[in-house]
Amino acid sequence: MKQPIDPIANYEATRRAVGYVPRARADQATYDALGFMSGLEVHQQLLTGQKLFCRCPAGIYQGPDDYDAEIIRHMRPTLSELGEYDGTALMEFKTRKQIVYRIKSRTACTYEVDDTPPFPLNRQALDIAIEIALLSRLKIVGEVHITRKQYLDGSIPTGFQRTAIIGVEGEIPLKRGPVRLIQLSLEEDSCREVSDIGHVRTYRTDRLGMPLIETVTYPDMKNPDEVREACDYIRFLNRSTGKVRTGIGAGRQDVNVSCRGGTRVEIKGVSHTAWIPELTHNECFRQWALLEIRRELLARVPDPAAWKPSSVRVRVLTWGLRSPALRALRERGQIMVAVNLPGFAGALSHFTQPGQCFADELAGRLKVIACLERPNMDHSEAAVPAISAGDWARIKQELTPSDGDAQLVFWGPEEDIKTALETVEERCRMAFAGVPNETRQPLADGTTVFERVLPGADRMYPDTDSKPIPLEDAHIERIRPSVPTEVSARYQQMKTWGVPENCYAYIFTRNLFPVIERVVSELGFGPVFVGTVFGQTLKHIEGHHQTTPDFTYNKVYGLFKYVKEQGLAPEIIRAMLPVLYQHPKMDFESILTSINFKRVAEDEILSKVPFLKEKIRSTRVSTDPSIEPHWIMGQLRTSALGNIGLTGLSKTIEHG
């Protein structure tokens, strides 16, 4: 008998064999060796009053249990062009999910639940989409065709999303060079999931139908940081129009990743761009690891087509099994099935992602496809087995395995056992082929779990409920003047001004460039000062204080204007800003009072300098010459702030 697999040692050994390195130690050479490839689908909600295809208000949300009615639907696969059922379609059908929609009268009408055909497309949304498409240098189509894109997970009650291409073939400039854009589409947003337990998936319909654009890039990004850079750029570009929604969930992206020899895998719904590098790094290595597993399996199993697992129902009492976990499952009426996987020894505990091994790929699919809630399985190479070694020995006896086989046990309700067994076999068979096409759900630690089978290409067809909308040159030219300066030009402008780079992310995320530009050009303040007031002072204040809905960035413009008109020294703005932020309705005069500002003539302040010099010289103990001006500045700062430029004052003290 061969030595049994030590799961932890095997995990570590296979991680080394895959060549996994943490992202901090990876460089371009690492990614070139893996053949890293990535593209983006960046979603951005548009700031409109109403939804895209009905007159419900957009942007009003409910809690998960706040609803007026529930509706139940099931999604059936429809036939594809070749008369075959799509892969995802079949999977979703296999799961036999009962989809429950929670409806609130205020935010959803009969359109959202597919009991009324669509109303004409929201023109405000269309014009914003055109504006962003122009900004992305896309070629605007001559006629907008509403298309149905099938989604069978239930996230849209119709079973498809209405979506339309606005522009094709554009580009955005990145540091390394341009990234090409495939297209920009205008589409309706989907439902928000409330829960997905067993055979019931529940959604709320408040977000459903809100206008959204999707910008799709070519897979031009060659390393994880570039993916983030491209994503940030697209998001900043969208926000630069000032016509998109901000806040949680208003911008989300799907990230496509593959390695050489791998497959396009879509990481869906990444809400923070900061997560992208770690997620793409790990996904690329996961695919690399699956290819390694494939190589090892093919070496052991020469004819994968003939590969077949065997299975047996676990009889806890008859076999005298003692593990408390097994006894508890039996008492809950769950069925347990043991499966022998020929040639899979070492594969189950094979590294796939940090903290995950190949067995997790099986557990993920058992949850999603067979609706078995996790924990749903145990296996012969688990680091912490739920089943005792003695029980495992007894179970293996029933399976009569050969050397080099691996075993697993899964459990669930009787009606799901057949699907579960098929799911295990299907996923193991895929291991011989390499990387399955799938969408994966991102986790905060930078790893992912199985979400769905990736839909096929044939899931798009024309919406017979809508007429095409012509886009004439004249219409596009009417929109063009409102298109803002390109983000890249804004980057360049800030660099030329000398605004520190650590301010950029905050400024572009909140689309503050237009207001900064106005303060600089209309009021004549120095751009570095203005840039840091926004990019550092305001950022800091925002992180430490609460504000009210009355606060707008335009009020900060008002503050600059006031300071200029009053002839105050600009530095006082940094002192007034925290008060303005917390009490946006307070007038500027009161803000000055609240920070104990008193008007003092410049001469009066300067006249105190000789006295203070005298004082420090008579009392100081240190011989350091820099002490003197520092101390004097300290004494004068409060009264000087706003009355005299601090830099000038400091120079006067030093030289005067």
For other proteins, the closer of residues 70 and 373 by Cβ is 70
Give the nearest distance from C-beta 415 to other proteins in angstroms.
15
Helix (H/G/I), strand (E/B), else coil: 58: coil
Spell out the residues 6+ positions from residue 584 whose beta carbon is closer than 8 angstroms to its own.
547, 548, 550, 551, 552, 555
For other proteins, the closer of residues 463 and 571 by Cβ is 463
Residues 551, 124: Cα–Cα separation, whole Å: 26
Cis peptide preceding 375, ω within 30 of 0: yes
* DSSP code for 464: T
For other proteins, the closer of residues 148 and 365 by Cβ is 148
Give the nearest distance from C-beta 67 to other proteins in angstroms.
7
For other proteins, the closer of residues 146 and 503 by Cβ is 146
The residue count of the chain comes to 656
* Phi, psi values for residue 485, rounded to 5°: -60, 150
Give the nearest distance from C-beta 182 to other proteins in angstroms.
6
* Phi, psi values for residue 351, rounded to 5°: -60, 135
Residues 287, 265: Cα–Cα separation, whole Å: 9
Place of tokens 């203070």: 612
Question: Where along the sequence are the contacts to other proteins (CB under 8 A)?
Answer: 67-81, 83, 89, 105, 110, 113-117, 139-145, 147, 150-152, 157-160, 163-165, 168-169, 182-183, 185, 216, 457-464, 467-468, 470-473
Q: Which helix (H) or strand (E) is 553 found in, with range?
A: helix 553-565
Give the nearest distance from C-beta 480 to other proteins in angstroms.
12
For other proteins, the closer of residues 152 and 499 by Cβ is 152
For other proteins, the closer of residues 69 and 601 by Cβ is 69
How far is residue 330 from each of residues 334, 337, 604, measured CA to CA in Å?
5, 12, 89
Give the nearest distance from C-beta 651 to other proteins in angstroms.
57
For other proteins, the closer of residues 186 and 345 by Cβ is 186
Backbone Cα Rg of the chain = 31
Residues 93, 488: Cα–Cα separation, whole Å: 46
Nearest to 97 by CA among 155, 161, 158, 160: 155
Q: For residue 533, how far is the Cα from the chain centroid?
A: 29
Under 8 Å between Cβ of 380 and 388: no
Give the nearest distance from C-beta 161 to other proteins in angstroms.
11
For other proteins, the closer of residues 320 and 470 by Cβ is 470
Give the nearest distance from C-beta 530 to other proteins in angstroms.
38
Residue 457 CB neighbour total at 10 angstroms: 8
Under 8 Å between Cβ of 335 and 415: no
Helix (H/G/I), strand (E/B), else coil: 333: coil
For other proteins, the closer of residues 126 and 152 by Cβ is 152
Give the nearest distance from C-beta 490 to other proteins in angstroms.
24
Give the nearest distance from C-beta 142 to other proteins in angstroms.
3
For other proteins, the closer of residues 460 and 601 by Cβ is 460
For residue 283 the two structure tokens come to 């996904």
Give the nearest distance from C-beta 75 to other proteins in angstroms.
4
For other proteins, the closer of residues 248 and 474 by Cβ is 474
Under 8 Å between Cβ of 133 and 189: no
Residues 192, 208: Cα–Cα separation, whole Å: 8
Helix (H/G/I), strand (E/B), else coil: 334: coil
Alpha carbon dihedral 504, 505, 509, 511, in 10-degree steps, equals 0
For other proteins, the closer of residues 43 and 281 by Cβ is 43
Give the nearest distance from C-beta 68 to other proteins in angstroms.
6
Give the nearest distance from C-beta 177 to other proteins in angstroms.
20
